[in-house]
């Protein structure tokens, strides 16, 4: 029996983790869960899984869950705020924490979990982006396993099984290309939101002229994956792939020169590893996050099929393209800050999170996401070389967000 906590139990990864638990033949026990403010969804989780501990970031939501537990005479401890997340992440009863909260908020609970010697199933890429040096060092000191949940990093993790980093020539991260792999310029002049929503799989690199007028609805239409709003926007700007490049650098101790991004629209090959002898090992699977979640929780042990099996006769062709780094600047910027190191990735991440929030509020246009990130990197350039500590990361992240809100709100 494996006892786990889920940070972010009501989001996309969290709910799919619940599916994995349902199908685990009672081999996985849910001990603790957290959410932001999704009271009704947490009630459903309580009724089905009976966790011993619940944390809600929102104080009013925490009170609502406490009242619910009292009314139902349930022996469940309920916490609130970031301290509540840290409690859920460090419970004595658990073996592993699955971190699926979105954004910087996952950093502190993850570090606390590592200090408590809990293995980490990591779906919160921002944790390694902003403080990878700190997190990986602490995990090594505490003897903690960091097990990737992102489909791309899980694919690399699987492709590396049986080999060491000295055998590797390069890591190849695949990217769907997001919803804006496009038609030609002439076609895009007349495209409507309705048209865009009908054509989720586009075939060529998009022009800047079209991207200038992209709507939020279009940006949220990912061709292959069902995800939350923030992650879907990140996929459309390709910043998500940039964050994954930085994450891969820390997870697999691979230089940025040896991490390559390839656009693979079918999303069947989730990533690849090229070895010194020119052999390439790839991991293929359906676009179902339950497979990498299951693999991470079970620490590389193969269990029964939880995802749909591939039918190669139906798949047909698999295609690959070079990403357009000039149109999709966020990916280029991620490589740049990754190579710079220090707190540069923290600036990029904070700027991106605020820019995406502004885009969803329809206060900026699509292409301004990259502009805001570039501006923040320049404005805070003197901060980049500071030591990567938890305090410095949190302080700089706050400064970046406040600057962008004051400048663009």
pLDDT tens digits along 19-78: 999 999 999 999 999 999 999 999 999 999 999 999 999 999 999 999 999 999 999 999
DSSP 8-state assignment for residue 167:
G
Mean pLDDT of 338-348: 97
User: Which stretch of 220-229, 267-276, 290-299, 379-388 has the lowest confidence by average pLDDT?
Assistant: 220-229
The rounded distance, in Å, linking the Cα atoms of 42 and 35 is: 7
Q: How far apart, in whole angstroms, are the C-alpha atoms of residue 107 and residue 115?
A: 12
Check if the beta carbon of residue 271 is closer than 8 Å to that of residue 187.
no
> Does the pLDDT value for residue 99 go beyond 90?
yes
89's tokens = 């992440």
- What's the mean pLDDT in 388-405? 96
Per-residue confidence band for 203, with pLDDT thresholds at 50, 70 and 90? very low
pLDDT the model gives residue 212: 54
d(Cα 343, Cα 393) in Å, to the nearest integer? 7
User: In the beta sheet, which residues pair with residue 80?
Assistant: 56
Provide the H-helix boundaries in 175-328. 185-188, 193-198, 208-211, 216-219, 229-237, 239-252, 290-297, 312-315
In CATH terms, 2-149 corresponds, of 3.40.50.720, 3.30.565.10, 3.60.15.10, 1.10.357.10, to 3.40.50.720
CATH 1.10.1740.10 fits 341-409, yes or no: yes
Indicate whether this model's pTM tops 0.85: yes
Q: Which pLDDT band, with edges at 50, 70 and 90, does 387 fall under?
A: very high
In this structure, are residues 21 and 98 in contact, taking their beta carbons and an 8 Å threshold? Answer: no
SS3 32: strand
- Domain boundaries, given as residue ranges, for the chain: 2-149, 150-288+312-329, 341-409
**With 70 as the cut, is the pLDDT of residue 205 above it?**
no
């Amino acid at each position: 029996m494996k006892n786990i906590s889920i940070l972010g139990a009501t989001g996309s990864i969290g709910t799919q983790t619940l599916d994995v638990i349902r199908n685990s033949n009672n081999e996985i026990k849910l001990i603790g869960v957290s959410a932001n403010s999704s009271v009704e969804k947490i009630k459903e989780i309580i009724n089905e899984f009976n966790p011993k501990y619940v944390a809600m970031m929102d104080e009013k939501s925490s009170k609502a869950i406490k009242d619910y537990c009292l009314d139902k005479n349930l022996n469940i401890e309920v916490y609130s705020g970031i301290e509540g997340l840290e409690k859920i992440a460090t419970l004595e009863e658990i073996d592993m924490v699955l971190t699926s909260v979105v954004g910087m908020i996952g950093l502190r609970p993850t570090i606390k979990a590592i200090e408590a010697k809990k293995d980490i199933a990591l779906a919160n890429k921002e944790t390694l982006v902003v403080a990878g040096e700190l997190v990986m060092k602490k995990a090594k000191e505490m003897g903690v396993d960091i097990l990737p949940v992102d489909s791309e990093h899980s694919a690399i993790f699987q492709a590396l099984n049986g080999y060491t980093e000295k055998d590797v020539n390069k890591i190849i991260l695949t990217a769907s290309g997001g919803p804006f792999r496009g038609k030609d310029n002439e076609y895009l002049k007349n495209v409507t939101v309705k048209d865009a929503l009908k054509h989720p799989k586009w075939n060529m690199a998009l022009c800047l002229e079209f991207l200038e007028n992209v709507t939020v609805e279009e940006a949220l239409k990912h061709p292959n994956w069902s995800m939350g709003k923030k992650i879907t926007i990140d996929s459309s700007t390709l910043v998500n792939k940039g964050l994954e490049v930085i994450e891969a650098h820390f997870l697999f101790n691979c230089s940025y020169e040896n991490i390559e991004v390839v656009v693979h629209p079918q999303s069947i090959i989730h990533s690849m590893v090229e070895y010194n002898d020119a052999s390439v090992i790839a991991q293929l699977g359906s676009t179902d996050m339950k497979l990498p979640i299951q693999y991470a929780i079970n620490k590389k042990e193969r269990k029964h099929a939880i995802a749909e099996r591939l039918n190669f006769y139906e798949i047909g062709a698999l295609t690959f393209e070079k990403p357009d780094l000039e149109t999709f600047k966020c990916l280029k910027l991620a490589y740049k800050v990754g190579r710079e190191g220090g707190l540069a990735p923290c600036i990029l991440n904070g700027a991106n999170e605020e820019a995406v929030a502004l885009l969803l509020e329809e206060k900026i246009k699509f292409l301004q996401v990259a502009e805001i990130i570039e501006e923040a990197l320049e404005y805070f350039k003197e901060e980049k070389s500071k030591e990567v500590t938890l305090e410095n990361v949190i302080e700089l992240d706050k400064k970046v967000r406040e600057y962008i809100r004051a400048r663009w709100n």
